[in-house]
Amino acid sequence: MPFVTTADKTELYYNDWGHGRPIVLIHGWPLSSSMWEYQVEGLVEAGFRVVAYDRRGFGKSSQPYSGYDYDTLADDLKVVLDHLELDDAVLVGFSMGGGEVARYMSRHSGERVGKVALVSAVPPYLLKGDDNPDGVDGAIFDQIIEGLRTDRPNFLYSFSKSFFNAGMLNFQISDETRQQFLIEGLKASAKATIDCVKAFGRTDFRQDLRRFDVPTLVIHGDADQTVPIDASGKRVPAMVPGAELKVYPGAPHALTFTDKEKLTADLATFARN
């Protein structure tokens, strides 16, 4: 299997398909690169080289005890880009993965990157505070961590309901899909799963976004119960001049599944133009 090794000897698993302009898919929490299964074929068939890798601690990548801060995760992304010699790449960060993209653009000056897409992503800053009144109450992240420590399988399965807006009028998600979410989530190390909640819940990306100097697309569902659009996607254009915001009306967090065809088409159009 294809792996690339980081400076701290962590092995990152990746897939590399197709030819053409590279699109790098960065997955969300608590999943792996397999979450992109409904986008990969369409993007490859549209003439792109598609790279999807597993974050450290998740999927088939190795599970070190540490390194789940965004500086390290951005450095991991750089290792992938450098190893595969990707240039003029389109970075696509979903949910937590949007944080990797944001930190990479500032920490590594956007090296090798031609465009950026943030999908249901956590930037600019989720944690509510005096200087961030539109954020999410920190108690929510504490409750997630407590749920993971108490009964991780039960918490992840319950969490999947809001991830897909399962049971809502427009989203009758099969139980098998929720089971797949649980299975992928349990492949991750417990330490990584908890530490990443701390990372995406408490990391401020506002200054990172101001370092963006490439075309940027923001895609977000306005019924997202996991990363509310008012705390995230709607705020990005004010910090990234020229960024385009596409709102999917009535859509939940899991756009890669619930709006799979639309998302794939929008990403292909953005990467091509």
From 95, 120, 160, 232, the catalytic residue: 95
Q: Specify whether 95 is catalytic.
A: yes
Candidates 224, 232, 259, 266; catalytic one: 224
Whether residue 174 lies in the annotated active site: no
DSSP symbols for 109-138: TTTTEEEEEEES---S--B-BTTBTTSB-H
User: Closest Cα to residue 97, out of 15, 24, 157?
Assistant: 24
The set of residues, in sequence order, having a beta carbon less than 8 Å from that of 241 and lying 6+ positions away, is: none
Cα 183 from Cα 196, distance rounded (Å): 18
| Residues pairing with 231 in the sheet | none
State both tokens at 25: 């898919």
CA distance 270 to 273: 6
How far apart CA 199 and CA 96 sit, in angstroms, is: 9
To the query of whether residue 76 is one of the catalytic residues in this protein, the response is no
- Distance, in Å, from the CA atom of 190 to the CA atom of 149, rounded to the nearest integer, reads 8
Q: Which of 61, 120, 253, 266 is catalytic?
A: 253
The strand pair at 22-26 and 89-94 is best described as parallel
Identify whether the C-beta of residue 69 lies closer than 8 Å to the C-beta of residue 99. Answer: no
Quote the CA–CA distance of 221 and 120 in Å, as a whole number.
7
Which are the contacts of 247, defined by CB distance < 8 A and separation ≥ 6? 220, 221, 222, 229, 233, 234
Which residue numbers are catalytic?
95, 224, 253
